[in-house]
Every structure is written in C-alpha cells, then in structure tokens.
Amino acid sequence: MLSRSYGRVLYMTNQLTPDDVKRIAELAHLQLSDEETELFTRQIGDIQRYAERLQEVDTTTVEMNRDKNEPVDRRRTDQVRPSLSREDTLTNAPDGRELTDEEHSGYFRVPRVIG
C-alpha cells in the first residue's frame, strides 16, 4: 500500500473569499447567485475553520485510510452476462420520451457541442 506523508502541513489561515467560492462553483459545474455565493462563503468558511483542528493531529507516519484488512482482489471470469438493453437505458433520457426511436437513433441527444 502506498505510504504518503502529509504530516506537516501549514495551517490554512487564508480566509475563503467570494471569488474562491465562485471558482469552486465553476469546477463543480454550479453557477451560484450572488446571495448563494455570499451564504456559501460564510458557511463553508465556518466549516473550513472548524476543520482546521485536524492540522493539530500528528499524522507524520500515517497512511491514508488504512484498513487492517487487506483489500481483496475480486476478479471474475470474463464472461458475457446480461446487461441493460439500449431501450431500457434510453427510457430515462431527458428528452427520450418526446423523441421517436428514429429521432434519437439509439443515442442520448445533447445540445450542440461545436458552434
């Protein structure tokens, strides 16, 4: 198992800013209103400050998520097994119900990707 040391990490003293929150939202494909940005800056800042206490724990020699039980290698034989039909898979497509079989041609339809 990989052993990595994150034992000595500096305190994250820098305050979370609304710009940070907007940047995180972008990474998460979320677009926040000004109100939400303000709210999340405060709330996530609170949680962040609360979580700072973890920095007090000495983890110099500790692995990430160590489990005393060895992970089991779960292989199976390479056999064809039943899986979802294309039809079943497409029944929940967001515009699947409005489209005929011919229109979706067995694929998910998305807005245009190239201008």
Partner 1 sequence: MATSKSVLDWNIIKIRDAVRSGGISAVEVCQTSLDRISAYDHIYNAMTAVFPDEALEQAAAVDRLSQSDRSDRPLLGVPVTIKDVICSRGQKTTAASRILKDFHPPYDATVVTRLKQAGAIILGKTNCDEFAMGSSTEHSAYGATKNPWNTERSPGGSSGGAAAAVAAQFTPVSIGTDTGGSIRQPAAFCGVVGLKPTYGRVSRYGLLAFASSFDQIGPLTNSVEDSALILQVLAGIDQADATSVAQPVPDYSEALTSNIRGTRIGVPRKMFEHADASIDNDILRAYDAALDIFTSAGAELVDIVLPHAAHAVPTYYLVAPAEASSNLARYDGVRYGLRASLDEADDTEKELDAMYTRTRNVGFGSEVKRRIMLGTYALSAGYYDAYYGKAQQVRSLIRLDYDNVFDGKNNTAVDVVAMPTTPTAAFKLGEHEEDPLTMYLGDIFTVSANLTGLPALSIPAGFSTEQLPIGLQLIGRAFNEDFLLKLAHVYEQATPWHDSRPVLEI
C-alpha distances in angstroms, 87 versus 83, 110, 114? 11, 18, 27
Max CA pair span of the chain: 62
Q: Is 68 in the site for partner 1 (CB under 8 A)?
A: yes
The rounded distance, in Å, linking the Cα atoms of 61 and 4 is: 8
The secondary element (H helix, E strand) that includes residue 35 is helix 34-51
CA 26 to chain centre: 13
Selected from 19, 38, 95, 101, the binder of partner 1 by CB under 8 A is: 95
Nearer to partner 1, 46 or 103 (CB): 46
Q: Is 104 in the site for partner 1 (CB under 8 A)?
A: no
Q: Which residues bind partner 1 (CB under 8 A)?
A: 4, 6, 9-10, 12, 20-21, 24-25, 27-32, 36, 40, 43-44, 46-48, 50-51, 53-55, 57, 59, 62-69, 72, 74, 76, 84, 88-89, 91-95, 108, 110-113, 115
